[in-house]
Every structure is written in structure tokens, then in C-alpha cells.
Structure 1
Amino acid sequence: MRARLGHVFLTGVVLTTVAGGVVWLQDPHSARIWWAVATAAAVVPAAWWVVEDIRAKRFGADVLAVLALVGTLVVGEYLAGAVVAVMVGTGHALDDYARRRARRDLSALLDRAPQHAQVRQAGGLREVEVDAVVPGDVVVVRPGEVVPVDGVLLGDATFDESVLTGEPDPVNRLRGERVRSGVLVEGTAVDVQAASTAQESTYAGVVKLAEEAAAMSAPVVRVADRIATVFLPVAVLVAGLVTVMTGDLTRAVAVLVTATPCPLLLAVPVAITAGMSRAARVGVVLRDGQALEALGSARVAVLDKTGTLTVGRPVVVDIVPAPGWTASGVLGVAASVEQLSTHVLASAVVEAARTAELPVEPAQDVHERPGHGVGGRVGSSTVFVGARDEEPAQDWERAVAGKARLDAATPVWVKADGKFIGALLLRDPLRREAGRTVRRLRAAGLRRVVMLTGDRPAVAQDVAGMLGLDDVVARCAPADKVARVREERSGGITVMVGDGINDAPALAAADVGVALGNRGSAAAAQAADAIILDDRIDRLADGVEIAAHAKRIALQSATAGMGLAVVAMGFAAVGLLPAVGGALVQEAIDVAVILYSLRALLPLRHRRMRPETTRLLARFDAEHTLLQEVRDAVRVAADGLHAGMTADAAEAVRHAHRLVVERLLPHERAEEHELYPVLTAEFDDQHATVPMSRGHAEIERLVRRLGRHLDESGGLTADQVDDLRATLYGLDAVLRLHFAQEEESYFVLADSR
């Protein structure tokens, strides 16, 4: 209603004012009539907007416009009144354009929501309402269609996820992977087994947020109206004093005309709404302007651990083979039977084998014992993968059990033909972008970062220590999280980030609740004030930076505009600025400030990697994954020396040295000579990679020391065991630290925006 009235109003007053200007060339008296009509016509919609504002509990901005219009009619300054009318109409039109422009990305989310789905049934395909899809249904999604519900892929597929994540490149997903509703299918049709209803899918929560964001005005406009509430009596007082002291009512009207800030105050919600749009483009959908303003003012972040700071699913972090076996051999055997299991640990084992590019043989006679493990035949061997009932008997088995306890990892034992051949250690690892996210949050102004988790204290303290958090609370129930969030709010505006159902109460209790929408629960999405659409915690830092930027622009717009208006009022009060001139000056101020507010739509100036740098980072990142076998061999060789220099231990040392020399050192040298010079130029800092180069030098030193042991005349002997173990364990520690530093400091930049 308001937008339609604004367009009609602007068109009418502009045509009437222009007509008056044309007539003025022939008959100045008739021109005044045209301008008087434009002014009088503007009073009605302006008064209507005042009524609307009062109903919305806003007051101040449009009142000055009505006073100025009425004042120009009273004193006969019809041209000034017409200019004010054009100014008011232009401001409302600009505001309407900015809102439509800023919400275009949010509207795209709503437009993509599918209404129907093709469900595969016994008689073929049947089209049903999307709300009729239930978990277990097989939905066929054709190329160019949007996936209607969250589900599991029944075949490989390619998706366009750009509307949700902002990433332009198509994403390949494999059979068995989860797929989100809202993504677009490319290439060929794909079958998706529904894992939830449409109402419970993550995209439903996103659509709900987008609808609310499109329906609500930015609450920060109330701040602008409070400014206007103060400014209004000041302007009226100045106009009254001018009237009393000079007796010149025309000069007083000039003051009111100059003080008219209607479009100016609209610049504030324009900036806030533009910031919401900018955030949506990087994958952060905000519920309303109040959420954006609060996010931009946040001083405390409370973060859930599982699924937020950690990956949220088990990953194979270590492989310990029995004497005579290799890590890749144990993993390959385990994956052969696990590939037919639906257990969450099984998918982690299969994923580890796929990442290591190991050949996985088909298994026969596979059978699963719920809660215990899965067995089958691989080649001529009978294989079992899972938990063990008996206590560890051999030294290496006891070492695995102890390592699992210390690392808070889950051991998965692998048995072939009745004998244990190795064990896999699984743990929920830290997201590699988590450390960089925490640093960016602190740089954005957050003074305190706290982690809450239901996990054990030892695990929680390790994660908090790695990230440098200010505090950590373990074994938190939902009520404990709510209590802690409320406690943290006393220290400043608090952001709570989580993804599970148990996080929903804490999300609702925070000043700003942020849910991870990719794998987060529907309850968390509904309780949140913002949703991160993809599975990247660093989008939180993007959102905070964008919100702070938009809020800063809004405040700059209000401050600059009001300051210029006060200066213009001073000139009008002493008679140096007539009503017509004051109207034109205020028009220029208002339009300029509104256009300045649209800067919030522009992306922040983050460093963007050159394409060749990104390709190098991706290449060496992939090599890190493939080098896991080499790192495992180093650790296995060190562990194998616990019983002395046996034949198997000596062979493990030689094997580890061979892999390090043939595969690891070429990788490290290529990084030093190909990647690091490019990064030094990229960062324009000759010292940017010095710590990493020092790591390379230490790796080379330890490998040379290992080689000297092997070059000793007479071969490896018992008196070398202690130093060999120290060398191998030292190499293992340096490699773990060095790889983690590179991945967190450099490789994560390859896919960040």
C-alpha cells in the first residue's frame, strides 16, 4: 500500500512541479498555482505516512515534512513546497527501490521453494504435493529442478548450490551422501531417498526466516526515529525563535523546510536491509534487521562444540596395524565389509578408504550384529570389524586401547581369520577453519569466546586449548546451556551458535541465535535469529563482519545527514538560505545519504587469492590427504620399537624411511619452492612463510638423522632403539603440527570467500 501510494505520489508531484516550471516561462502567476497544487496534494500522503508511523509506534520523521508543507502553503512559498513534495516522494521511491534491490536474494530463496515432487512408486512416478512426501519415499529430481526435501542420494549427482552457499562451481555428490533441500540438480536426474518431510527439512527453516525478513522492517529505524523525536522539537524551537526575533514567518518556514529529514532517516533501514542482503549472499540468512544490528554489536560468542567447532561426525584419525600388516592393508580390509553397513562408523571407514584412494574389494556373506560390528568374507579370509569383547592380550593391542582412552577416540578393531590385524581410531575432529574463525571474531570486536558441550571435560579442554577460547563448560545439558548464555549476556550482546535440537533453547535465549542449516535440526533453525546455509563455521565471521559494516554505514548516514541538516538550518535561520534553496539543499543531502547507505550491498574488501594460487593450495591440500599413509608409517615404526629391535621393527623403520624419502620430502620441497614464493607474493610479506619454512628444515633434519641410523655399518642394533624412537616420534609430532598449521593458515583460504 505504502509503496504503491509512493509511486503515484511521486509521479503526480513531479509532473505538476514540472508543469509549473513550463507555465512559469509564460505566466509566473499561473505557475504558482501549479506549485501550490503540488504542495497541497503532497500534504495528504505525507499525513497518511505520519498516521502509519504512529500506528507502528514510530514518530518524528514525516511530521517535519507535514509541517514544512503546511508552512509553505501558509506563507505562499509554493515553489519551495513543491520541491519539498518532490523530495519526500523521491525519498520514499528510493527507499522502496533499495528494499526491493536488497531483498532480491532473499526473495530468490522463496521463489525456489518447490511445490510438488515426483515420487517413485510401484506403478511408476507419481506427482504429489511436496508436503505429502514422508521419510523413506524415493523422490526423483530431474535436471533443473530443486531438491524438495532433505535426503540421501541413491546415485552420484551434480548440484548447483550457489543460491544457498554463494559458491558458483557445481558440486559433485556421491551415492550415500546427504543432500539438502533447495539445491538445484544439474546433469542427469537423480533419486533421493527422503530423510524428513518438507516441513522438517533444513530449507523450510530457511524459507521461514526469509519470509519474516521480507515482512519486517529494520528495527534500527526506531533508533532513527528517536533521533528525529529529538530533532523535531529542536527544529520547531529554532523556527519559533526565528519568528519571535525577526517576525519573519517565511524565514521560519525555511528552517522547517531545511530540517525536513524524511528520506534521510530512511537511509538507516536501507543500510540495514542492504546488509541483510549482503549476508544472505555469503550464506547467512538473518531473521530481521534487529538480528543484524545485534550481530554487528556482539561482544560475546558462545559456541557449541559438536557439529559447530568440530566436524560433527566420526572420522578415522589413526590406524594401528598389527605386526606384519600395513595401515593401508588394515583400512582396505575393514572398508570391504563396512561398505555394506549403515552404521555411522562404517561410513567413516569407507570414506577414509575412498579418500586414501585404496582399492576396496567386494565382500561376500556380509552380516551385521547391531551394537557389535559387521562380518563377511573378503577374498578367502573371514573378516570382522567392530568392538571387541575380550581384553587386549598383546602389547600392541594394549597400546591401542590406552591411546584410544588418552585421545578420547573410539577404537574399531579389525580381525581376519580369527586374529586381530589392526585397529582404527575414530574421533570427531576439529574443523580446520575453526581457529581462523575465532581469530576473525576477535578482530571483529568480540571480547570473549566460550564453548559449551555435553562432551567429557578432557575432550572439551583439548578443543578449547587448540582454539584459544576464554572458557569452556563440559557435560552441559540444555538447561545448563541456557543458564550460561543468560549469564554471558551480562557482559555484552551475546551470540549463541549451535546445530542440534539440544541447542534450540540456548539459541532462543541469546541476543542472536545462529544455527548451522546444512545439518542442523529444524528445531535449531526455528529458534535461531540467523541460519548459516552451508557447512562452514567461518560464515559466522562473515556475518559478524558484514553486520558490523552495515551498522557502521547506517550510523554514518544518520550522523552525517543530521549534521548537514543542522548546518543548513543555521543558514536558513539567519536568512542566508531561502525556503526554495533550503529544500534543494535538503534534497541533495537526503539523496546522497541514501545512496551512501547502499554501500552496505557491496562485498567487504577481503583478500582474494589469485586463481593460480588457489590451484596450488588445492593441489597441496590434496597431497596432504594422500600423505596420511606416510605419516601413519612413521608412527607405526616408532610404536613397533617398544619391544626392542626385532626383525619386524627394523623392517617398519626401513619402510617408513623409504616412504618419507620417496613421497614426503618431494612434497615438502615442492611446497618450499613452488607454493611458498607464491604465498609470499600474495601476502606481500617476505616473512609470511618463514615459520613454515623452519618446519620444513626440521623435517629434513629428522629424516637425515633417521637415514644416518640406517646407514650405520652392521645394520640396526638394540643400542639405537632409544634414539630411533625419539627421532620417529619427533618426526611424527613435527609432521602433525606442520600439516595442521598449513591447513589452518593457508589451505583453508582456497575455498574461503
Structure 2
Amino acid sequence: MSRFPFLIREYPLVIATLVVAAVGLILLATPADDAARPVVGGFALLIATWEAIGMIRQLIKGHAGLDILAVTAITAAVLVGEPWAALVVVLMLTGGTALEDYAENRSKRELTALLRQAPQQAIRILHGRGVNHSSDAVTEDVPAEAVEVGDLLLVRPGTLVPVNAILESEHAVFDESSLTGESLPVERDAGERVSSGAVNGATAVTMRAAALASDSEYQQIVRLVEQAAGSKAKVVRLADRYAVPFTVLSLAVAGIAWALSGDATRFAEVLVVATPCPLLIAAPVAFLGGMSRSARFGLIVKGGGTLEQLSRVRSAAFDKTGTITTGKPLLARLLPAPGFEQHELLQLAASAEVYSSHVLADSVVGAAKKYGLGLLESERAEEVATNGVAAALRTSRAPDATVVRVGKASWVREHASDVVLAELMPGELAIYVAAGPHFAGAIVMRDQVRIEAKQALRDLDELGVSRTLMVTGDVAATAVPIARDLGISEVHAECRPGDKVRIIGGVQPRPLIMIGDGLNDAPVLAAADIGFAMGARGATAASESADIVNRYDTLASLPHAVKIGKDTVRIALQSIWLGIIISAALMLIAAFGFLPALLGAWLQEVVDLVAILGALRAVGPRSERAPRRSSSKEAAALNCHTTREGE
């Protein structure tokens, strides 16, 4: 009973139609049975008038819709003395919204699951440390949106991390599967960054907020999901393009049947089976299902139109660092400047890089962790897009905080003129570090090709992608061997962001999908027919510019995206044509007088259900699983390395 007020509020016309049907049936069972026909017929004409007004408004705006068939069918059925058939058409017309809502909710369940899991609350520590299950802390519950950067937070066992934060407790274990797709628990030590949306393990921990809720990772993912869920595919409007020819065909068949038989009832009998709900409902349901299926693979597809483009994709262009390669290099060697020790150089870099969202930052922090180096306390930090990160750290060298800069040589040299470029072997990259005005040294690392890259390219070829190319800022000496090993024959090296946009603009055949990551790929991701952001997190420029955001850091998701696009468009078109063909067959049967209006109206309800169930196939089987993330150990086994220079 608690659902009844909701149904009345959301679907008043459906409830009104059922009430009128009940009243009509009661009247039939009484001496006043003659009143049933005018009650039912009058209500049907009232609904037809209401729909006609809406139809005229759409026509004035230049949108030729399919409602004209339903309005004509209702009116004709009443006029020829078939009010009950008209009422069934009314039920189909008004109930179509409820059916579509059900189908949408069913098809969007993976998307809405993300929205439901968004962190809502946080526990702010006012006094005390609160490490031992808050026994020595004074706390307050606040909305996640009220958390300020620098607030000390208590995260209880099994609860969500409310905002991006730095771990204050010595050690903690988190479930990050909703962010990365990695099912195994992840261990974090004091000083490491933990993303919002991660689930704390069995012990309460304290954390220092590093970002506002609006700037934190999970909330940004939710924002992308909401944008995706609110989109509409071009192919959904394909049903509108069928409106005029389908309407003309239906009216022509009905008119011919009336003319040849001399019976106006034939006209109504044909039109009641020509009502086009399958065309209106099936395509949107299919595309929402495809987007939901994509979410199961960690893919946030920002629009149904993107799925349509994916179904026809013919070319694929790849960035290298963080895309073809893992973007998580291994430490090769440390090159401290005179006056600095190796461990000091790595500790300075890691203490600053913990505040960076760059794909290489985790590798530096991980290297420091591996060697047992603690992170230095920071007073403030700032990431400078495309250059590096600067953090004011408390070191043993000076009583006041020292600004440590980590990043590209050219940027670090602006603040430390004594920078010395490292001599790199093929496949190596260098990260430069300055402490105040002094050059502290360089960290040399090696990147690794993704273990799944070669199979992903083979899968794309099987899916009809006939041209693949690498477009990278890296030098040709590094890029070409990697591309050759993967079967990519076309390489454009040492490209600036503008060069990438120009190259991509001239590639044929189209559509083209561009796969990249990071800030420098944002322009080309936006310029491509389809932008695919690898492992993009939060409000990065890549995720904002791309059409598809790959939350799970694996290239195996790429062919899955193309396959989902092909399956979705195929199912959407099948559902549209299924509705057209069945309706056309029923019209022909009705035209010869073998299908009474009331039976035809009920059969059209069955056609609606068949079309919707067919469209729901786009959700895919529940047994599907997201591709496994490539491990750095597996990638290292390939012994194929790359560089970051000019990334």
C-alpha cells in the first residue's frame, strides 16, 4: 500500500485509465450498462485531445513525432463504436512511460550503483588523535561536503573514505575495487594518499583531508556518471526519423482497407495495431543498457552517441606513456647532486610527489616506501600542470620549511640554475629534484609496456579497426621499437599537444578513437571522434575532455568498449525493426478483417513488451567480468622499456 501514493503521483494517467476501466466493467454488470460505452469512450477522447495538444506543440517546434498514430487510432476506435479498444490504446500510451521507467532502471543498475555508494558523511576529529577506535578523541559527524582541506578525520572499520586524504595512522588496509577494479586489499602506510570511495579495513584510522569533497576522486567519478546517465544517443532519434514514413504507411494501409471493404471499422482496426511504442522505447532502453554494461567494465561512457560512434570505429591512435606503457616505472638509479645523499634525494621527491596526481608520482612514492623512507611533513603543496609539483617540506637542513620542486628539467631549472641533465639509456626517463635554490639530483626510472597491450591491439583488429598509430611526445628512438613490437607500423614521435591534434585531424578512415591519459592529452582527446582516457581519475583534464573514462587502469577495457558499442547499436536497431515488422504484419492482418480492434490493441501491448525485453539484451549477461589489471611484475617480464622525456 505504501507504493500506491507514489504510483498516483508519478503515473496519474495510468491510474486514471485503470480506474475508468474498472468503472466501465462495473457499469456493464449493472442495469446501467449502456453508460459504460460513453464513459470509456469519453475518457479515451479526452486523453486523445490531451496528446493531440502536445503533438501540435512538437510539430510547431519542427519535431514530427509518432503520437499522431495513437491519437488517430483512439479517435477512430471511439467513432466506429470500439471504445474498449480505444481504452486499451490509451493504456498502452500512458503505460508506456511506466514501462520505460522500469526498463531504464533495470538497464542503469550498474550506473546507479556508483551513485548510491558515493561518500555522504565524515567524522571530523576536534580533539585528540582518535587512532584507537576514537577512544581518546572528540569527534563530530559532518556531511562530506563540509570537510575542509587539513581537517583530521576518523574513518571507522568498513566505512568509506569521505574525501581524498593523507593517511596519518601508521598502517591501514583498504578495498579500492570500486575505484580501480583491483579485488585484492591494498596496504597503505603513513603519509600515503588514499582516494575517496576506498573502503577502510578492520581497524579505525585517522587521515588528513587533502581535498574538498567536490575535488575528490569518487565524487568526480559520480559527476561523470551523472553526465553519462543524462545523455541521449543519436540513434535514439532514429525512431523519430521513422515517424513520418511509418505514419504515412499506417494511414495508407488503414485508408485502403476502409476503401476496399467499405467498412470504417477496418480503419480503426489497422491503426490500433500501428501504435509505435516499440520505436519510442526500445532504442533508449538499449543505449542505457549499453552504458550500464560499460560501467561493469569500469568504463564511464558520457553519451549514447559515443556508443554509436564506437560501433563504427575504424582507426585507433595511442599515446605512449601511461597508455601503451603502464606509466608506473621502476626505479633504475639515483643520481644525487653534490652535497645530497641517495636516500635524501628519494625522500625529498616522494614527500612532494604524494601531492601529485601525475601517473609517475605513485612510482616515486612506492620506491621510497620500498626502501623504508618516511615522508617529510609538508606545510603546503601545489601541482603545476605539465611541469611538476612543489611542496614546502620540513627537512633536517633548515629550521624553516624548504620548497622542494619535482618534475621536468626545464621547470626545475627556473628555480635551481645548477640543474645537470642525466645521461639516459634507451627506455629510461629522468625526474629532476630541487631543494630551494639548489639542485638535489635526478631519479632515473624505466617504464614498462602493458602486458595486455598486444592482445588488445589484436582484438581491435578483429573488431574492424583497420588503422592503428602511435602519437607521442617521446623520441622516435624509444617509441618506434615499442610500436614495432606491438604491430603498430605508424609512429609520430616528439609531438607537442598541438601536433597531436593536427595529426589526428587528418587520419582516415573515420571514426577515430584516441587513447591517452594526463593533461597533455586533453586537447587531442577532445578533438578525436572518440576520446578514451586511460585510468583517468577525478577532475583531470583527460577525464573532462574524453568521451569515455576508463576507471580501471587496463588497456584490455578498450576492445570491450568497442564490442559493447557494436552490440548496443545492433540490439537497438534490431529492437526498432522488430517493432516495425511485427506492427506491419498485424496491420496487414487487420486490413483483411481478421483482427478485431480490441484483440489488436492487446496484441500491440505484447509487441511493446517483446521490443523492450529485446532491448534489455544490451545490458549483457551478469556473468561478464571486468578485465584483470596488468601487474607490474608481468609487465617487467616483457623487458621492454620506454621514456617519459617530452611525454
Aligned to 2:51: 46
**Cα distance, 1:64–1:623 mapped onto 2, change above 3 Å:** closer
Give CA-to-partner distance per residue, 1:602-626, whole Å, 9 cap, x none.
33776999xxxx9xx99xx89979x
> Residue 561 of structure 1 corresponds to which residue in structure 2?
579
Counterpart residue type for residue 310 of structure 1: T
Corresponding letter in the other structure for 1:283: G
Amino acid at match of 1:147: V
SS in 2 for 1:576: coil
- Per-residue CA distance 1:437-492 (angstroms, 9 max, x = gap): 2223333332223322211112221222232225222222222222233223x522
The answer for unaligned runs of 5 or more in structure 1 is: 320-332, 374-386, 392-400, 413-422, 629-735, 741-753
Residue 79 of structure 1 corresponds to 84
Contact (CA 8 Å) 2:221, 2:537: kept in 1 or not?
Answer: no
1:282-307 residue CA offsets vs partner (Å, 9 max, x unmatched): 21122232223223332222222222
1:70 matches 2:85: no
Instruction: Give, as a single letter, the amino acid of the residue that structure 2 aligns with 1:83.
Output: V
Q: Equivalent residue for 1:279?
A: 294
**Structure 1 residue identity aligned to 2:323:** T
Question: 1:447 and 1:101, CA in 2 relative to 1: closer, same or farther beyond 3 A?
Answer: same
- Secondary structure of 1:259's partner? coil
* 8 Å contact from structure 1 (residues 36, 79) kept in 2: yes
The match for 1:247 is 262
Per the alignment, residue 338 of structure 2 pairs with: none
Residue of structure 1 in register with 2:163 after alignment: 149
Give per-residue Cα distances to partners, 1:405-436, cap 9 Å, x unaligned.
Answer: 23345599xxxxxxxxxx99621211222222
Tell me the TM-score normalized by structure 1.
Answer: 0.66
1:10-409, aligned counterparts within 5 Å? Answer: 10-21=14-25, 23-24=27-28, 29-44=34-49, 46-47=51-52, 50=55, 58-114=63-119, 117-118=122-123, 130=144, 138-155=152-169, 156-164=171-179, 170-316=185-331, 338=346, 342=350, 348=363, 351=366, 404-409=424-429
Instruction: Between the two structures, name the one with larger relative contact order (CA 8 Å, sep ≥ 6).
Output: 2
2:9 and 2:142 map into 1 onto residues whose CA distance is: 41
Displacement, 1:232? 1.0
| Structure-2 separation of matches of 1:607 and 1:585 | 38
Residue ranges of structure 2 left out of the alignment (5+ in a row): 1-5, 129-137, 335-340, 354-359, 376-394, 408-417, 433-441, 641-647
AA paired with 1:545? K
Q: Residue in 2 aligned with 1:510? A: 528
Q: Do the aligned partners of 1:92 and 1:263 also contact (CA within 8 Å) in 2?
A: no
Distance 2:240 2:599 in 1: 25
> Is 1:598 the counterpart of 2:616 in the alignment?
yes
Q: Match of 1:553, as an amino acid?
A: I
Q: Give the Cα separation in 2 of the matches to 1:53 and 1:141.
A: 53
Q: Does the 8 A contact of 1:258 with 1:586 survive in 2?
A: yes
Residue 226 of structure 1: CA displacement? 0.8
| In 2: Cα distance, 1:291 partner to 1:532 partner | 14
- Are the structure 2 counterparts of residues 411 and 13 from structure 1 closer, same or farther at C-alpha, using a change threshold of 3 Å? closer
Cα deviation, residue 84, structure 1: 1.1
> What CA distance in whole angstroms lies between the structure 1 residues aligned with 2:231 and 2:60?
15
Q: How far, CA to CA, are the matches of 1:427 and 1:500 in structure 2? A: 18
In 2, the alpha carbon distance for the partners of 1:335 and 1:31 equals 91
The 3 A distance-change label for structure 1 pair 607 and 349 is closer
Q: Does the CA contact (< 8 Å) of 1:410 and 1:426 recur in 2? A: yes
Pairwise CA RMSD:
4.2
**Aligned with 1:458 (options 466, 474, 477):** 477
Matches of 1:308 and 1:70, distance apart in 2 = 60
| CA deviations over 1:241-284 (Å, ceiling 9, x no partner) | 33333332211121211111124431110111121122123211
CA 1:562–1:547 in structure 2 vs 1: closer, same or farther (change >3 Å)? same
Q: Identify the residue that residue 531 of structure 1 maps to in structure 2.
A: 549
Q: In 2, Cα distance between the equivalents of 1:561 and 1:131?
A: 47
CA distance in 1 between partners of 2:28 and 2:361 (Å)? 85
8 Å contact kept, 1:202–1:518:
no
Residue in 2 that maps onto 1:570? 588
In the other structure, the counterpart of 1:467 is 486
Partner of 1:8: 12
Alignment: residue pair count? 571
For the 8 Å contact 2:497–2:523, the answer to whether it is kept is: yes
- Identity value in percent: 38
- Paired AA for residue 75 in structure 1: V
Q: Aligned partners of 1:406 and 1:175: how far apart in 2?
A: 35
- The 3-state SS of whatever aligns with 1:316 is strand
SS at match of 1:550: helix
Structure 1 residues 37 and 369: alpha-carbon distance in aligned structure 2, compared to 1, 3 A threshold: closer
1:716 counterpart residue number: none
**Deviation of residue 7 (structure 1)?**
1.8
Give distance in 2, aligned partners of 1:535 and 1:447: 25
Distance 1:14 1:372 in 2: 69
**CA distance in 1: counterparts of 2:245 and 2:361, whole angstroms:** 66
Structure 2 counterpart of 1:533, one-letter code: R
TM-score by length of 2: 0.75
SS at match of 1:476: coil
* Equivalent residue number for residue 434 of structure 1: 453
Give SS of 1:220's match: helix
